[in-house]
Every structure is written in C-alpha cells, then in structure tokens.
Chains A and B, each alone.
Chain A
Amino acid sequence: AQERQEQLQEREKFLKSRIQELRQRRDALREKVRQAVSELGNLGIASEPDPREVLEWKIQKCRELLRLFRLTGISGKLSPHGISLSLHTSFEGSLLDSFHLELQERGDSGRFWLCRHSVPPFIPLERLARELLPRNPRQFLGILCRHLNTFVGRREQLRKLQEEFPDSVQVLSQNSLCNFLSFRYRIPAESSGEFQEFRAQLRYRDPTGTRPDDVTAVTGDGVAVPEHSELLRRLPLHRALRQIHDTTAGTTTTG
C-alpha cells in the first residue's frame, strides 16, 4: 500500500508538470496567433475573401473537429431515435475499434435506456446499463469506456506479442475477454543457438485493469522465474518479452 501511495503521488506530480507544460505551449500558440492576426491587419486586406476559400476553410475546420471528437474517445450525435454515441478505443497511441450505442429517453424523465448497440457480448453491457444508466449515464459511459479500452488493449497486446515473436511464442489458451492467458515462450540462452523454454500464465482479475494481477512464469521444469513474472506484470506483453530477450542476451554476452 505504501508503494501504491508513492506511485500515485509521483503520477500526480508528473501530471501537474505536464499541465504546466501544456499551458505554456498554449500561451505561446495564442501569442503566435495574435501576432499573425495583427500582421494581417497591417497588410490591410480589405477586400472580400474568396467564397470558395472560405468554404474550403470551413470544411477543413469541420474535418479537424471530427478528428478531435474521435480522439477524445467518445462522440455523440442526436439522431431521430435518440442519442447515438460512439466509443473509440485506443492503445499506445493507435486508434482501434469503435463501438456504438443508441440511447433513448423515457418521456421527459431524464432517464435513459439502451436501444441498439454494437458492443460484443462478453462485455457486461446489460448489467452496467441496468445498474447505472437510468440514474447516472455519465458514470455508465465512463465505466463502459474503460471496459472496452482495457479489453481492446489486452487484445492488442496479445496480437503484438504474436506479431513480434512469431516463432518463439505459442499461445496455449486464451479467452474472449483476453483476461486469462497462458503461453509458451523460448529465449535463446547461449549464442550457440540453444533455447530455453518457459511457460507463463496471466490473469486479470479486474475487468477494467490494464495490468495482470496474477502472473506465473516458470521454466520447462516448473521452476518459478520471478524476474520474468515481474516484467510481465509491469509492462505490456510485447515489451516485457522484448526486455526478457534483451536482458537474457545481455547476461550471456557479458557473463
């Protein structure tokens, strides 16, 4: 718990300094805009801007707004049937799947219910909607977003793991939510080309967790390897395995 406290405090400090940074950048950009506008004024452009250019500028602004909506992860639109919400998931800077919901309001009560959706069945959507949607739609959306993002993140980690290590990783079992995973991996032990076999099992108890809760990494004979399980617990799968590869290579060349 002490460690967790420290981690949270560090994170807080980091975020605060980031906010400072972004504010400074924003102020600098504002200054630039102001200068540019005043320069324009100095040039004395009095004539009517070309309508075609204005239209193009408007279209460009629209496109940027739409892109911004997507980047925030949630966007919504009023539709004839109610509210149409789109949840965009991402992992490590790449935009991935989008899921959609349609909500309708019961009369004027301010309570919403779920009409249509494109959320996969292993996400507990009905339970969340039943518990949260009527009273607290914001919380419902927030939690649903987290479920979807963490699911897509876990799935993407697995995909990247298999993509980066096609020959040295073999998945033994997984499930739809990707929250229980076991796979075999082998590391070149010596420069002679011999391999060491390991087996890992990961379990994510919290469906909205991005890091596994139970990790066991064992050698072929069943001996636990705490360094590996620590890396698999802390880092995304493909990065953990990359590091395992590098550290093993490092020790053999120096040792």
Chain B
Amino acid sequence: MHFNLPLSKSVVVSHLGLTLMSASTEVQLFIPWKGASPLNLPVAWSYFLQPFSFPGGSIMDETVAEYIRRTVLKMPRDEIKMMLQKWGFLSEAQLQTLNFHQQKDNISQEVVQLCEENSAGIKQAAALDIIYNHIYQNKRMWSVYQMKKSGEEEEYFDIADFKKKFKGRIRSALKNVTITFKEYEDNAIWIRVAWGTPHKKPNQYKPSYVVYHSQTPYVFISASVLKSNLPLLCQALIVASNYRDIREMELRSHSLNSLKDIVFKRYSQNFQTYSPKPVQGWNVEAENADRRIVHENRSVKERIHRLNQESFGCGPQPKLEFAQYRLDTMFKSDPKMDVLDKKEPFRCLVKFSSPHLLESLKSLAPLGMADAPLSPLLTCITHKARNYFKIREKKESFVSP
C-alpha cells in the first residue's frame, strides 16, 4: 500500500508499520500488512488530519515510538507506573496524567504521546528496555564467560574509561549499533547492545545484554539470536576491562543471581569451622512431637543428613534448571553377557532438568530416592561452576575440556 499526501506541517506517526519516509511537504507511507490491524488505521489517519508540532520542534522517530510502545506492552499492567518512575524520563506531573486502569493498549499509546512531548530518542527507549530486562532478568538465558588477566595488576577500575573503550572497540568494527549502559547499586554494570549491519540500522528487538561486575573476571551474557556478533562483543569486553582473553564457561541458567552466587562464591559452602553458632543437627524432637512414634532408623537418617550437608551445605542452593552430561564411555557389563558386539564407546546424553535442580538433588537422599552421598558428578556442580559435563573414558575419573 502506498500513499502520497501533501502536508504543510510535520507530523508524528506512531503506529504499527507506518514508516515516515520524509518529513517535508510530501510524505510517502508504506503500510505493511503484517501487524496493521483495521482498528488502528483510523487512529493513524487522525494524526494526519490534525498535524501538530512540539515545543522542542523535533519529531520523535517513528521506530523509537513503536519500540517504546511495545516495551510498555510487555510490562504487567500494575507494574507500568513503577517502571516508568524508575525510568525517570517522564516527569511526575506527566505520570499523574496517565490512567493506569485502562487497557494496556491505551496506556502504551498515552505513554508514547508523553514521550513525544519530551522528544524521546533511541537512548531513552533503550534505557527503558534495560529497566524492564533488569526486573525480568530471569526470563532470559544467561551464560557465564571468564576472562584471563594479562599479568599486570590493575590499580583501580574507572567506569568512564571502561565505557569509552567498550564503545570505541565496537564502533570501530560496526557503526550501526546502539550501546546503552546502566549501573546498579550492587556494582553491576548492565550493557545493552542492539546490532545492525553496515547497511541496516540496529535491530532494537534482538539486543544482547551483558552484566559485568567491576574488578572481577566474570561476565554474564544473554546473547541475542544474532550469534555472529558474539566475537565482537567479547573482544570489546576484554579491551574495555584490560584483560587478555575470554572463554565461555560451561555454566548456563535463567537465574542470573544464582549464576553470580556460584562464581562469586556467595552460596553457602560447608566449611569446617570452630564457629560458636549452634550445630544444625537433624532435630528429632521437632519432628517427633508425638511420643507414640519411634524412629527405628534414627542413626541412618542422621547419617544421611550429615552427608547431605557436607555435599550441599546448609543454606539455600543456587537456582539452576538443568545439568547435562555427555557420556563418551565404554559400556561396562559382565564379560559373559557381552551386550555389545563392538567395543565402542557408548555415546549418550543425560540431562537432568528441574525448576530448581540443586534443591531437588539435595532432597533425593533424605527422601530415600537415592543413596547418600550422591555421586560427585552431581555434587560438584557448584564447586566446579559448571552444569555441562563431558565424561570420557579415562581411569574412572571424568575429564572435561
């Protein structure tokens, strides 16, 4: 569909699929059918019939408006106000004018209108996206990368320097990118990168997210689908943080905080200490309120509890969703049975999944579903900071690359 319209003033178009080609007297409109619902078209037309100008005199980019609109639509209705407040781009007075009890479609339209008044650009839109993704970080899959030092100690970390080097490295290879930073109080630096190509503007709907804590060798990346940009991203990170090399660890999860707990050693490990805190034994008395019940195997239960605590510690476990073991070992059977004709390694993939894998592993022995202590292959996950393993035939112990 193709429209030619003479216009005397510049207008703002902020709806699905309408692309403003030029803001001069003549405007060509391309309306792709995908996403353009008949309901929205009349509203779009109304903008043309009543052109209006802005205090700043500048037009908000149509793509920016659309992106803000879709970002607001993603938010749960009762959280929109809070996120807009965190964003800080709209004034308190402007937020008061919004009606948060109507349909989200309408709320988002109103938000976009206010953004137009303030002449929002892609920077502000990206900042709003970071806020949403920071709160809903567990919707994304995060991988952990480890960097290696070049040898000299760094005196201190200067964030301005980091940002400059990061942007510089990326822009030297690719001009069409949107890079946004946001620092949080726990020293986490969030970086959002929207990637384009030499000929196309950045795709704001498939950005990569990077979370970095200064002066640590770990980076958490939730890559976009466009995996080809990953090497450039990694390059920029080591340049900016003064490291020599970066490699992907075999550790992935949706829970970013749990990944941080594992590599920052914030989870509860079982260390033997002369600590004055009370020993947390399995309290039979609490479970045995009824004196008519006698626990015959109390010592067994206590032993299981003790072994379990040695493996998993006494605190809450980091939240992982799966552990994957790629087996490349020989099948061991009774030689008389000779199950396999050829002496070939038995290849298979074993994957454990759970909404909270480590807690469920921890409860296996006390529930009687497995013997305590559990296999070290399962209990070493947090200590080795990995949930992807390759097990090869090598003297009964596993070797992972």
Bitwise, B193-234 to A at CB < 8 A (1) or not (0) is: 000000000000000000001111110000000000000000
B297 at the interface (CB under 8 A from A): no
Say which residue of B157, B215, B265, B273 sits within 8 Å of A75 (CB atoms): B273
Report whether over half of chain A's contact residues are helix, strand or loop; otherwise say mixed. Answer: mixed
A82 nearest CB neighbor, chain B only: B272
Contact indicator B271/A176 (Cβ below 8 Å): no
A sample of 28 inter-chain contacts (CB < 8 A) reads A77-B272, A84-B272, A84-B273, A86-B274, A86-B275, A116-B269, A116-B383, A117-B265, A118-B266, A118-B271, A121-B213, A121-B216, A121-B217, A121-B218, A121-B263, A122-B213, A122-B216, A124-B153, A127-B153, A173-B159, A173-B183, A174-B187, A175-B187, A177-B156, A179-B156, A180-B156, A180-B157, A203-B156
Bitwise, B136-176 to A at CB < 8 A (1) or not (0) is: 00000000000000000101111100000000000000000
- Give the CA-CA distance A232 to B105 in the complex, in Å: 53
A204 at the interface (CB under 8 A from B): yes
A69 nearest CB neighbor, chain B only: B274
B218 nearest CB neighbor, chain A only: A121
B346 at the interface (CB under 8 A from A): no
- Give the CA-CA distance A179 to B383 in the complex, in Å: 29
Contact indicator A122/B214 (Cβ below 8 Å): yes
User: 6 extra interchain contacts, Cβ-Cβ under 8 A, other than A86-B271, A175-B215?
Assistant: A66-B276, A100-B273, A118-B266, A118-B269, A120-B266, A180-B156
B264 at the interface (CB under 8 A from A): yes
B100-155 contacts to A, CB under 8 A, are: 153, 155
Q: Give B residues with C-beta under 8 Å from A.
A: 153, 155-159, 183, 187, 213-218, 263-266, 269, 271-276, 383
Knowing A118-B265, A121-B217, say if A75 contacts B274 (CB, 8 Å): yes
Say which residue of B264, B272, B273, B275 sits within 8 Å of A121 (CB atoms): B264
Contact indicator A176/B216 (Cβ below 8 Å): yes
Bitwise, A175-188 to B at CB < 8 A (1) or not (0) is: 11101100000000
Contact indicator B274/A77 (Cβ below 8 Å): yes
- Give the CA-CA distance A249 to B275 in the complex, in Å: 47
Query: Whole-angstrom distance from the CB of A208 to the nearest CB of chain B?
Result: 12
Which A residues are in CB contact (< 8 Å) with B273? 75, 77, 84, 86, 98, 100
Q: Give A residues with C-beta under 8 Å from B.
A: 63, 66-67, 69-70, 75, 77, 79, 84, 86, 98, 100, 102, 116-122, 124, 127, 173-177, 179-180, 203-205
Say which residue of A63, A77, A86, A176 sits within 8 Å of B157 (CB atoms): A176
Which B residues are in CB contact (< 8 Å) with A86? 271, 273-275
Knowing A77-B273, A77-B274, A180-B158, say if A175 contacts B214 (CB, 8 Å): yes
Query: Whole-angstrom distance from the CB of B316 to the nearest CB of chain A?
Result: 15
Which B residues are in CB contact (< 8 Å) with A79? 271-272
Say which residue of B215, B217, B269, B271 sits within 8 Å of A177 (CB atoms): B215
Which B residues are in CB contact (< 8 Å) with A116? 269, 271, 383
B155 nearest CB neighbor, chain A only: A205
Which A residues are in CB contact (< 8 Å) with B264? 120-121
Which B residues are in CB contact (< 8 Å) with A100? 269, 271, 273
- Give the CA-CA distance A75 to B217 in the complex, in Å: 29
- Give the CA-CA distance A124 to B213 in the complex, in Å: 15
Contact indicator B157/A175 (Cβ below 8 Å): yes
Which B residues are in CB contact (< 8 Å) with A63? 276
Query: Whole-angstrom distance from the CB of B287 to the nearest CB of chain A?
Result: 26
Contact indicator A176/B214 (Cβ below 8 Å): yes
Which A residues are in CB contact (< 8 Å) with B159? 173, 175
B146 nearest CB neighbor, chain A only: A121
9 residue pairs, one from A and one from B, having the closest CB atoms:
A122-B215, A100-B271, A79-B272, A175-B214, A180-B156, A121-B216, A84-B272, A175-B157, A176-B215
Knowing A121-B264, A175-B157, A180-B158, say if A67 contacts B183 (CB, 8 Å): no
B149 nearest CB neighbor, chain A only: A127
- Give the CA-CA distance A116 to B268 in the complex, in Å: 12
Which B residues are in CB contact (< 8 Å) with A121? 213, 216-218, 263-265
Query: Whole-angstrom distance from the CB of A248 to the nearest CB of chain B?
Result: 28
Say which residue of A84, A119, A179, A204 sits within 8 Å of B265 (CB atoms): A119
